[in-house]
Structure 1
Amino acid sequence: MLFQKRFWLGIADGSVTLAFRRWGRQQVLPGRPYRTAAGIIDVTDVTVVDPATISDDDARAAGHPDAVSLVADLPGDPANPTYRIAFRRAAGPDPRAELAASAELDPAEIARITTRLDRLDRASSYGAWTRETLRLVEEHPERRAGDLADMVGRERAPFKLDVRKLKNLGLTESFPVGYRLSPRGRAYLDATRD
């Protein structure tokens, strides 16, 4: 789920436990975890509500001072249903962080990573990118995404999306500015270097 930066601290400290969204169709399901920039959340309830019934207490739980400001700030088409999403911060660590920290790769795990990277390369409309991107991140740690994208002649937004795919495999880590190879990513490159 996407949240504006102003809500990240409240999500992380547990003071923000609600979100309201206008969607053409429901985008999240109760009982499932979702990644946010503030960490993983567990969605506990999703209901359709009339925006006029949103209380000041609900607005404060969503990080707004009152219901009037929340409704005024509500993104999306007003013709769409308004969803009230209740959530809590997930208790455990982000599985991607645990995966990224595992630098002991046996041959079977190296083969699994290679298969996944090959699949991403084949699915790409602009050709093989995974190893080039890993090497780029290795050579330019914590460099702005736009700079890295320019180095390989790509647009920033799709480049960032691709790096996120590598992060989902535990191969990169995000920083306030740019990325670094994770221990797992470094171990993979070291094991497969010609």
Structure 2
Amino acid sequence: MLFRREVLEGIAGGRIDRVFRVWAQPRVRAGSTQRTWAGIIVIDSVTAVTPEEITEQDALRSGFKSRAALLTALSKSTKEGGYHRVMLHLGGPDPRSELAGNADLTDQELADLKAALDAIDTRSRRAPWTREVLRLIEEHPGLRALDLAERLDRDKLPFKADVRRLKALGLTESLETGYRLSPRGKALMTYLRTSTE
């Protein structure tokens, strides 16, 4: 489930505790979580609703100025299906963010990260890619995923999946558009350059 920046800010600030989606079938379920730059979003409930069941309170607590504005936004959806109310809350910080922010790494931690990249590259069905993707993100912070993928002659979705693997190690951070190296990622790149000289 994608969230606009202002919605995530509202969730983090406690002003937003629900969103509405048009789905043929719910795409999330109660108890599931989603990692975002604002933190871990916890899904509390998912309920199919009719337009008549959507209240003014629903609109205000989902970031809209009025019920009419919310219903107008929902009616403009190009997706097939019915309306769903998704109740949610911020569960806490994304542990990857804390990991990513730590650039004070020991030589052993840096060697372990290098070994993790080597293992990913070894298991890859194609040529080694981890350092190339990190270098590309380092050289082009904020560049769209599609543009980064095209520079490597790759499709966008598999490229984004690879970046998520690097993010899980705390090496990259998602921006509103594109990515950048995290402080941890920058420390690793410096280490990789000095260890190959």
TM-score by length of 1: 0.76
Q: Which residue of 2 is the match for residue 88 of structure 1?
A: 89
- Distance across 1 between alignment mates of 2:192 and 2:111: 9
Q: Which residue of 2 is the match for residue 4 of structure 1?
A: 4
Question: Could you tell me how far 1:2 is from its partner in structure 2?
Answer: 0.6
Question: Could you tell me how far 1:60 is from its partner in structure 2?
Answer: 0.9
Q: Which residue of 2 is the match for residue 57 of structure 1?
A: 57
Question: Could you tell me how far 1:175 is from its partner in structure 2?
Answer: 4.1
Give the alignment of 1:98-137 within 5 angstroms.
98-102=98-102, 103-104=105-106, 105=109, 107=111, 110-119=114-123, 121-122=124-125, 127-137=127-137
Q: Is the contact between residue 110 and residue 188 of structure 2 (CA under 8 Å) also seen in structure 1?
A: no
Structure 2 runs not aligned, ≥5 long: none
Question: Could you tell me how far 1:33 is from its partner in structure 2?
Answer: 2.1
Deviations 1:85-141 (A, max 9, x none): 111122x3211112223434165554344323544x42x6xx543221112223x15
Q: Is the contact between residue 23 and residue 76 of structure 1 (CA under 8 Å) also seen in structure 2?
A: no
Q: Which residue of 1 is the match for residue 26 of structure 2?
A: 26
Distance change (3 Å), C-alpha of 1:180 and 1:26: same
Distance change (3 Å), C-alpha of 1:66 and 1:177: closer
The alignment yields a C-alpha RMSD, in angstroms, of 3.0
Q: Which amino acid aligns with 2:82?
A: P
Distance change (3 Å), C-alpha of 1:14 and 1:154: same
Matched, 1:172 2:182: no
- Distance across 2 between alignment mates of 1:23 and 1:117: 38
Q: Which residue of 2 is the match for residue 39 of structure 1?
A: 39
Deviations 1:10-38 (A, max 9, x none): 22311111111122222112223212354
TM-score by length of 2: 0.75
Report percent identity of matched pairs: 40
Which deviates more from structure 2 when the two are superposed, residues 168-177 or residues 46-55?
168-177
Structure 1 runs not aligned, ≥5 long: none
Which deviates more from structure 2 when the two are superposed, residues 49-58 or residues 3-12?
3-12
- Distance across 1 between alignment mates of 2:116 and 2:162: 18
Q: Is the contact between residue 30 and residue 44 of structure 1 (CA under 8 Å) also seen in structure 2?
A: yes
What SS does structure 1 have at the residue aligned with 2:136? helix
Q: Is the contact between residue 142 and residue 177 of structure 1 (CA under 8 Å) also seen in structure 2?
A: no
Q: Is the contact between residue 120 and residue 130 of structure 2 (CA under 8 Å) also seen in structure 1?
A: no
Q: Is the contact between residue 100 and residue 183 of structure 1 (CA under 8 Å) also seen in structure 2?
A: yes
Q: Which residue of 1 is the match for residue 141 of structure 2?
A: 142
